[in-house]
């Protein structure tokens, strides 16, 4: 079940559907609103497929991609092959990642957050602390 608050935020995108795929860096799944997926595919379409590295990347990036929808009861069916990839056992966590939603096995999510907590301050400084960033402080 998609939590009611998240379903409300996703309401404008429910008709378009979503794309679910394996994450590149983590043992989780990524849920893209179709509009975000289309933007990403436009960028990938610009890659030269006659370069082996590009062709290999496209194949591996899109492996296991599935089009999914939230049904009228607010449920999202996670395909079995993607469930196995993410090691989803029982409980899941839906985590907002700016323009996508990550879907994690609850224990794997908590372990990933705990493991990253030690160096998060250093990571935050490296990523967000440069002088060129005009964001929030």
Given pLDDT bands bounded at 50, 70 and 90, which one contains residue 5? confident
Q: Can you tell me the distance from the alpha carbon of 1 to that of 57, in angstroms, rounded to the nearest whole number?
A: 32
Write out pLDDT tens, residues 83-130. Answer: 999 999 989 999 988 889 999 999 999 998 887 776 777 877 888 887
Helical (H) or strand (E) element with 106: helix 106-117
Mean pLDDT of the chain: 86
What's the DSSP call for residue 28? S
Q: How far is C-alpha 45 from the geometric centre of its chain's CA atoms?
A: 20
**What's the CATH fold of domain 4-106?**
Chemotaxis protein chec (3.40.1550)
Query: Mean pLDDT, to the nearest integer, of 49-68?
Result: 93
> Which residues, at least 6 apart from 103, have a Cβ–Cβ distance to it below 8 Å?
20, 28, 29, 30, 31, 78, 86, 88, 92, 93, 94, 95
Q: Can you tell me the distance from the alpha carbon of 128 to that of 66, in angstroms, rounded to the nearest whole number?
A: 33
Q: How far is C-alpha 10 from the geometric centre of its chain's CA atoms?
A: 14
Could you report how far apart the first and last alpha carbons of the chain are, in Å?
Answer: 36
Query: Mean pLDDT, to the nearest integer, of 14-40?
Result: 92
Query: Mean pLDDT, to the nearest integer, of 17-43?
Result: 94
């Amino acid at each position: 079940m998609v939590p009611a608050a998240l379903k409300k935020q996703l309401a404008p995108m429910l008709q378009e559907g979503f794309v679910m795929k394996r994450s590149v860096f983590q043992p989780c799944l990524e849920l893209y609103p179709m509009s975000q997926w289309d933007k990403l595919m436009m960028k990938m379409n610009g890659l030269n497929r006659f370069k082996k590295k590009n062709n290999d990347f496209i194949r591996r990036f899109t492996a296991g991609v599935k089009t999914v929808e939230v049904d009228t009861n607010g449920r999202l069916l996670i395909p079995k092959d993607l469930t196995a990839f993410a090691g989803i056992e029982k409980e899941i966590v839906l985590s907002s990642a700016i323009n996508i939603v990550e879907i994690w096995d609850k224990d794997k999510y908590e372990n990933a957050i705990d493991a990253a907590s030690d160096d998060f301050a250093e990571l935050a400084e490296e990523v967000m602390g440069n002088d060129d960033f005009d964001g929030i402080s």
